[in-house]
Amino acid sequence: MTDFKLDFTKQDGLIPVIVTDYQTNQVLMLAYMNEESYHLTLETKEMHYWSRSRQEIWHKGESSGHYQYVKSIKTDCDQDTLLIAVKQKGAACHTGAYSCFFKDIYPN
C-alpha cells in the first residue's frame, strides 16, 4: 500500500468519503473521516468515520450489523477526498435502504 499524505487541513480536519459497492460501483453513501478514523479504517479494513453530529468516531455497522469491508481506496488529485469501494453487509443507509441515494429529484 502506498502511503499518501492526505490533506485533512482544508475542512476543519475532515475529508469527504464517497463509498461505493465494489461489485456494482453503485454509490452507497457520503461520509467524513478525520485522521484517526482513516487510520482505523486502514488497520481494520472496516469502515470508520467521523460523526459530525455526535462528534465521535463511528464504526459503520457496530450497532446495526451493517458493516462495510474495504476493497479499495483511491484519492483524488488534491488528496482531500476519498473514493472507497466496499463489500456492504446489509443496508448502507440508516433508513434501511441499500444506498443513501434513492430519492429521485430529476428523472433521467
Binding residues for Mg(2+): 76, 78, 80
From residue 91, alpha-carbon distances to 8, 98, 99, 106 in Å are 28, 4, 7, 24
- Known binding-site positions for Zn(2+): 77, 93, 100
CB 75 within 8 A of CB 5: no
- Known binding-site positions: 76-78, 80, 93, 100
Q: For residue 107, count other CB atoms closer than 10 A to its CB.
A: 4
Residue-by-residue DSSP string for 61-108: TTTTS--EEEEEEEE-TTSS-EEEEEEE-S-SSTTS-SSS----SS--
